[in-house]
Amino acid sequence: MTSEAVVKPLGIEIEAVGTARANESVEITSKVSNVVTAIHFAEGEEVKRGAILVELDGDEAKAELAEAEAALADARSQYQRSRELRQSQVISAAQLEQAEAALNGNLARVAAAQARLADTVIRAPFDGRTGFRHVSVGSYVSPGTVITTLDDTSRIKLDFTVPETYLYLLRRGLPITASTSGLPGREFAGEITILDSRVDPVTRSIAVRAELPNDEGLLRAGMFMTVRLEGDVVPALVVPEEAIVPEQGRTFVFVVANDRAHRREVRIGKRRPGEVEVVAGLAEGERVVVEGTQNLRDGDAVQVVRHDLT
């Protein structure tokens, strides 16, 4: 059986599976060990960047700040007096430097006290949706204690892998469509944003990340999704996959001319189920053998039975 080499639009389609991730995701924790005095968020609530989520006991931090500010005021007064005395040559330059050093030291202590007080107020680092609350008013938290989670899912990052044989096809900006069994009948459009810098030597695949808009908020981090992508559709000379005869790293077809099969080396390109692109060694309209190639020899007589691609 033979088939004609024809030119037709060809775009490689790839299907993969991936995991959805939030655009930004963080566990909200405390920097200090302290007692929760107020909670300002509801579980599953959308919050803005900078919004106060939790307040901790700040009495001790406020007292430290007041003490540091009082010491600063005294140091600033001493420094001003020392400058005036230095202008009158009453004190030495070294004594003025000591007063300036004391002033700078107290400025630093005030800044440290302000930072400790700020640590008693926990704010949202970005716009997002809160998760479950793991503490209550009166809870004692320490660094590392998870108070809640915060996820920005306005855009979804979708991570998946593609065999290295399709590396030539991948590029930033390539459109993709994704679907999930949790939302039957829905498809989500996005595009590739990042390709990993290396191919996994074990699986011979490359990690790819795409981003999907999530304006409706339907997609959630952790979802298992099916990804489909297609390369640019261009005219290509194609033959049935069965016509290709691989041999020792080279590729051949049997071209039919004058009722005889002539073995010819070709170079192939893209593939899709049932079809292979031939980029060199074959011309449009030539007929190739698609069945019985195992028993053919170069120059064998053949009886042509047509089985053309549609």
CATH architecture of 13-22+152-230: Beta Barrel (2.40)
> What CATH code is assigned to 30-56+122-146?
2.40.50.100
Please name the residue that has the structure tokens 């004058």.
258
Q: Kindly state the helix (H) or strand (E) to which residue 105 belongs, with its residue range.
A: helix 93-118
What's the confidence (pLDDT) of residue 111? 96
The model's pLDDT over 237-287, given as tens digits with 9 standing for 90+, comes to 888 888 888 888 889 988 888 888 888 899 988 777 788 888 898 889 888
Residues near 304 by Cβ (< 8 Å), separated by ≥ 6? 2, 256, 259, 287
What gap in Å lies between CA 242 and CA 236, rounded to an integer?
A: 17
Whether the per-residue pLDDT at 310 is higher than 70: the answer is no
- Greatest mean pLDDT among 82-96, 117-131, 217-231 lies in 117-131
Structure tokens at 235: 């005219």
Tokens encoding 64: 């430290």
The CATH architecture one would assign to domain 2-10+234-295 is Beta Barrel (2.40)
What are all long-range contacts of 232-235, with beta carbons under 8 Å and residues at least 24 apart?
232/11, 233/9, 233/10, 233/11, 234/9, 234/10, 234/11, 235/7, 235/8, 235/9, 235/10
pLDDT at 110 over 60: yes
Average pLDDT for 184-193: 94
Residue ranges covered by each domain of the chain: 2-10+234-295, 13-22+152-230, 30-56+122-146, 59-118
* Residues 6+ away with beta carbon under 8 Å from 52: 40, 121, 122, 123
Taking alpha carbons only, the member of 34, 29, 47, 40 closest to residue 148 is 29
Task: State yes or no: pLDDT of 214 exceeds 60.
Answer: yes
Homologous superfamily (CATH) of 59-118 is Helix hairpin bin (1.10.287.470)
Q: How confident is the model at residue 16 (pLDDT cuts 50, 70, 90)?
A: very high
Q: What is the pLDDT of residues 41-75, one digit of tens each?
A: 999 999 999 999 999 999 999 999 999 999 999 99
- Residue 275 confidence (pLDDT): 86
Neighbour count for residue 197 (Cβ, 10 Å): 7
Q: How far apart are CA 51 and CA 48, in angstroms?
A: 6
